[in-house]
Structure 1
């Protein structure tokens, strides 16, 4: 082998090995994330329990719960979108349970024309999941009080506005006879899992790197002929 080809060959093989190792690491991360999402889905769909007197975000995120009480007519609408349906609103209402506790209830989705439709007080048994959404960031607009539209489920602010405990239950099922919303239940689809994209990216770069190395070595060899 010509001496002027040795350094590019080493550099090319080393770069390919590094890129392949990153792809392999992402494969392992993808397997781990798949197990995590499966565990979350299993927890979401487990047998519901009464809402605990004391809740913890770390321990009770996604906890399946069931409660009976009355859904108040007061509500806050939060701008949202449903795939294949389009924009609309989440409806957040106070839910007063039979023991007197008041919590937040995410009743589900309504289309834009139904934003101001009447939704009177109703008694129901609700099955759903506790949730602490991660929706607020530095670019989230403040609520538009004139239009009655919020842009994120800010639990402390919602609880203060609707005079409830800072606990949010997202409705999955309800015994209401006449549904006025479409349930927008908790699932794991909103949790990002882009590891397959990273796997394809790193191994794709490894193939390109190896191909460019082979081309570069071919050029060196033919220039030296």
Structure 2
């Protein structure tokens, strides 16, 4: 009994310490709670919204990229307005190139005909000429005689020659048949500073003259050329019918030709004598360049169309197409 009482005495301090520990812990917790309550409230660290209980996948009308990839990223779409336009361009360019081939043949034949007419001997110009037949005699060399009507002279321009501005001198030529046989003669170019007749008396030929030139259809007005103003004596392009009605002449246009050497050209220019054109064909023929341009455009756009249609899919498109079979 003595030994048991001694053992209990040894164990009592330990049990009392264990029982005192919860009491001390409760006191410490109570004091910590009191300190926290006395401090100001702090903001929470996370500001994210709470997760919604319903997800997009819960909606029965929801369509994911795995369920229908062609409609979401157009993996199956190969045609559209841009591709259709790109397909039309090479076809149109090829048609235009073929049309230019026909135009080249026509222009080559026309130049050959005109050059053949120039090589022939000049014909005497009949008193009356049918204006509708001029197209069949374009660039045909002719000669005639008459008197220049300098009082009805007209200046067409401005026209450039060797970088200098000037005018084309157009003078009616009265022939032996009377006023109804008068024709319009483009005598040639004079500089702008000698446009006034009083400054070039050597150009006003008197008496009967013989001229040689080409029957021509004069150039036409383009969209940038202003309208003629006959009331002010301003002519920007040769309107043959208008000029013939103004001077009482036939609507026949003759371009006087000459082939002066360099010294004569300088002398004519200084004295104000009109410098006629050489007897040569000056028709422009750029259709070969147009053929190269249109066929080249057709080839280039065809290659672009082929590359675009046969272009391999990207990695994302390939993966989406593979996921379509899930």
Structure (1 or 2) with the greater strand fraction:
1
Following TM superposition, by how much is the alpha carbon of 1:34 offset from its aligned partner in structure 2, in angstroms? 1.2
Change (3 A) 1:206 1:185: same
Residue-by-residue CA offset, 1:34-75 (whole Å, 9 max, x unaligned): 111221232244321111233233423323210122223221
Residue-by-residue CA offset, 1:135-172 (whole Å, 9 max, x unaligned): 346863232644x3311222233223333333222101
Unaligned runs of 5+ in 2: 1-75, 319-326
Partner of 2:70: none
Partner of 2:111: 37
Q: Would you say 1:143 and 2:248 are equivalent positions?
A: no
> Which one of 168, 185, 200 corresponds to residue 90 of structure 1?
168
Change (3 A) 1:94 1:83: closer
Unaligned runs of 5+ in 1: none
Change (3 A) 1:53 1:211: same
Partner of 2:275: 182
> Which one of 212, 228, 248 corresponds to residue 127 of structure 1?
212
Q: Would you say 1:216 and 2:308 are equivalent positions?
A: yes
* Alpha carbons 1:126, 1:173 under 8 Å: kept: no
RMSD: 3.6
* Alpha carbons 1:142, 1:151 under 8 Å: kept: yes
Which structure exhibits the higher relative contact order, with contacts defined as CA atoms closer than 8 Å and separated by 6 or more residues? 1
Change (3 A) 1:115 1:15: closer
Change (3 A) 1:166 1:215: closer
Change (3 A) 1:13 1:154: closer
Structure (1 or 2) with the greater helix fraction:
2
Q: Would you say 1:68 and 2:145 are equivalent positions?
A: yes
Q: Distance in 1 between matches of 2:150 and 2:89?
A: 63
Partner of 1:171: 256
> Which one of 177, 184, 190 corresponds to residue 104 of structure 1?
184
Q: Distance in 2 between matches of 1:42 and 1:33?
A: 14
Change (3 A) 1:186 1:87: farther
Larger Rg: 2
| TM-score, normalisation: structure 1 | 0.75
* Alpha carbons 1:72, 1:120 under 8 Å: kept: no
Partner of 1:154: 239
Change (3 A) 1:114 1:57: same
Q: Give the number of aligned pairs.
A: 217
